[in-house]
Chains A and B, each alone.
Chain A
Amino acid sequence: MTDRSSKWRLLWAVLAMSLVVVACGGTDSADTDADETSSSDDVANDASVETSDVEGQIFISGSSTVEPVSVRVAELFEDVAPDVFVDVEGPGTGDGFKKFCAGETDISNASREIKASEAEECAAAGIEFTEILVGIDGIGVMTSDRNSAIDCVTFGDLYGLVGPESDDVESWADANAITGTDLPDAPLDIFGPGEESGTYDSFVEIVIEDLAEERGQDAATRSTYSPSADDNVILSGIQSSDTSIGWVGFAFADNATGVKLLDVDGGEGCVSATAETIASNDYPISRNLYIYVNETNAADSPALRAFIDFYVTTGLDEAVSEVGYVELTDAAKAEVIAAWQG
């Protein structure tokens, strides 16, 4: 009898311990939330009375690139409207649109425009949407910082190196035969994102598509490089080889060490990738970041409307640059606001 009761005592002790662990976690986080809301009273006072009163839930899915922007906007919005609960996930632009067109999400983050096929899917399901431009991300083309032989690449160079006709290109010089460029003879190691990525789609659309069409090829990259979904893997690949080339989103590229951002010539001379050249559209490989809003849900939910109102004002002004992307110009912001409110 004593044996049995001591066994149970032990079990209960373990159970109780684990409950305490979780209970602590729970109460602590509640405390932090309270602190946050009280510390931000000054912000709340600025906002209209209606905004702080709205209640509701908003679910955002889509691009992992845009995810931090929407999360940041939600964090700022929480101070203004504490009773609106915004959840955000980032499985990818394509997966996001699948959920969006199935009516599972209120907003879909996207690092490219919606495709015709996706728009049809939405239409078939009776989902109407509004597209809102929220910021810009450049795509940085990079090589190792030990590579001093090259500083600027043209679209032609890039087409020759990673385009659809370059499956057998193993040296930089091999690309010269394809588009008549003039690259040095050095081994070529390519690192880039895979087809599931919005960065891949944008790169193909901006850099490769026109040349591919001219030459009667499919708009795609070569099939012979190992793509990665993880930007860190791409970066360490580029660092690892002296004569590498690769591309990732500008926010990632700009922060990286051990790599050299190449200037890009899109037909109007070499332009280096900086926040300024991207915002002014001088840098040729930049992509727009969008959110897509479910119109029916927006009409039904004051919370969603208030959130979008907040997104196109404070969001565009603060959140986009805070998480490392390039803000729209003032004129572009005004256009976005007018389009949403009109």
Chain B
Amino acid sequence: MALGTIGDQDVASRVEATIQRRGRDVRGTGFRFALFAALGISTLILVILLVDVLTDGWPVLTDRLGDFWSGTLRSRSSDDSLGISQGIVGSFWIAVFVAVLAFPIGIAAAVYLEEYAPRNWFTSVLDIVVRNLAGVPSVVYGLLGLFLFVKGTAVTNWFVDRVNNRWNAWYGEDLIELGQSTLFAGGVTLAVLVLPIVIITAAEAIRAVPQSLREGAYGVGATKWEVIKSQVLPFAAPGILTGTLLALARAVGEAAPLILVGAITGRLAPRDSMFSGLEDFFGQFADRFTAMPIVIVGWVQNSGRDEGFGPAAGAAIVVLLVFVIIMNSIAVLLRNYFEKKRG
């Protein structure tokens, strides 16, 4: 019985030939080697990068990690209080802004797109627009942030007026002053930057939920809201979580938008502790800021004038990498945890 044909051979004789062949499958081995080489090249580049920053930053990381952690921006690399605390604090709050703004809005938009929106030309266009937004260079988002949140437009002025009126009623002064770069502007800009990424990854995760799961839930009389809440979202949670945490890692590592928004490179004078009162706590969002990538850029630029900034920049890169790795590991752990629970 003929099984069919591949090329000009029939399947039976081809199978027979493969089984009886003594020599090696040359093309198969070659293909495997090519794949391995591709993996090797990408790993090698990563390893070279890691070794490079680690050797650069090693003296700082081993000799004065404590001071480096708690130190601030300084003019000279030999200064004992040169360090990254201001960058860490800025990057932490940027991460909080992203988590608070981009995650709920992005996930909600994804749920709407996947579960509620009708399939028509409008949603197709919307889909393409969101995907394109995810590929827009981050500098462009920096410009957007500069005009919307630093210089101020009609919309932002309206919003700022409302906030200031309220704040005036409580503390007798304005909270937000436009025309100055603020932590608020930096955080919101990066939240906007990762929003399309959050939407896309969340939408993919929701799309991967088996239709049978929804149908089963409808079958026992659940409403659409109940289906989404108790079946779709829990099933999609691992995928959504991975996507959001990767987006967070991206936001924390971005330098270009923050340069445009006006993060500080030279010096940030010591502030009152943000834990000393509500006013100081909220005040910091309307204050100048810096962030880890900006600290690194500044030190690299200064390393020609003062060689010691090179190791400091290397050490700061290592710290930032460690944070990103921690975030990505949490993403993997959470995904595994939820996947196991899902069964």
Contact = CB atoms under 8 A, between A and B. Distances in A.
A90 B304 CA distance: 16
B266 interface: yes
Interface stretch (A27-35, A202-210, A289-297): A27-35
Interface in A288-342: 319, 322-324
Interface stretch (A113-121, A179-187, A248-256, A268-276): A248-256
Interface in B48-95: 66-67, 69-76, 79, 81, 83, 85-86, 88-89, 92, 95
Given A33-B270, A232-B300, A232-B304, A71 B264 contact: no
B10 interface: no
B269 A87 contact: yes
A201 B150 CA distance: 29
A235 interface: yes
Contacts of A14: 330
A235 B302 CA distance: 13
A31 B306 CA distance: 27
A10 B305 contact: no
A305 to B, nearest CB: 18
B305 A252 contact: yes
A255 B305 contact: yes
A25 B305 contact: no
A174 interface: no
Interface in A23-46: 23-33, 36
Contacts of A33: 270
Contact of B89 (A3, A25, A251): A25
B265 A90 contact: yes
Contacts of B119: none
Given A68-B75, A323-B76, A30 B273 contact: yes
Contacts of B69: 24-25, 28
B311 to A, nearest CB: 14
B116 interface: no
A105 B275 CA distance: 28
Contacts of A32: 67, 70-72, 81
Interface residues of B, number: 47
Interface string B276-309: 0000000000001000000000101111111100
Nearest to B80: A32
Nearest to A34: B270
Interface string B297-328: 01011111111000000000000000000000
A249 B300 CA distance: 16
Contacts of B298: 90
A32 B270 CA distance: 10
B303 A232 contact: yes
B267 interface: yes
B180 interface: yes
A75 B74 contact: yes
Majority-rule SS of A interface residues: helix
Given A26-B85, A71-B73, A89 B266 contact: yes
B179 interface: yes
A72 B269 contact: no
A328 B205 CA distance: 65
Contacts of A80: none
B268 interface: yes
Majority-rule SS of B interface residues: loop
Given A68-B75, A89-B262, A26 B89 contact: yes
A14 B331 CA distance: 11
Contacts of B95: 18
Given A28-B70, A32-B81, A71-B74, A88 B267 contact: yes
A218 B203 CA distance: 57
B12 interface: no
Contacts of B264: 87-89
Contacts of B76: 68, 72, 322-323
B269 A104 contact: no
A25 B307 contact: no
B337 interface: yes
Contact of A87 (B75, B79, B267): B267
Contacts of B273: 26-27, 30
Contacts of A21: 88, 92
Contacts of A86: 267, 269
Contacts of A322: 75-76
B22 interface: no
A3 B305 contact: no
Contacts of B269: 57, 74, 78, 84-87
Given A25-B85, A104-B179, A231-B301, A90 B266 contact: yes
B130 interface: no
A324 B307 CA distance: 11
Given A26-B85, A231-B301, 12 more contacts: A27-B273, A31-B70, A70-B267, A75-B75, A75-B267, A78-B269, A87-B268, A89-B266, A104-B180, A230-B301, A255-B305, A324-B306
26 contacts: A18-B95, A29-B72, A29-B83, A29-B86, A30-B273, A32-B67, A32-B70, A57-B269, A67-B265, A68-B266, A68-B305, A69-B75, A71-B73, A71-B267, A72-B75, A75-B267, A85-B271, A86-B267, A86-B269, A88-B264, A89-B265, A89-B266, A90-B298, A255-B307, A323-B76, A324-B306
Q: Sorted from nearest, which 5 A-B pairs have the closest CB atoms?
A: A28-B70, A88-B266, A85-B269, A71-B75, A72-B75
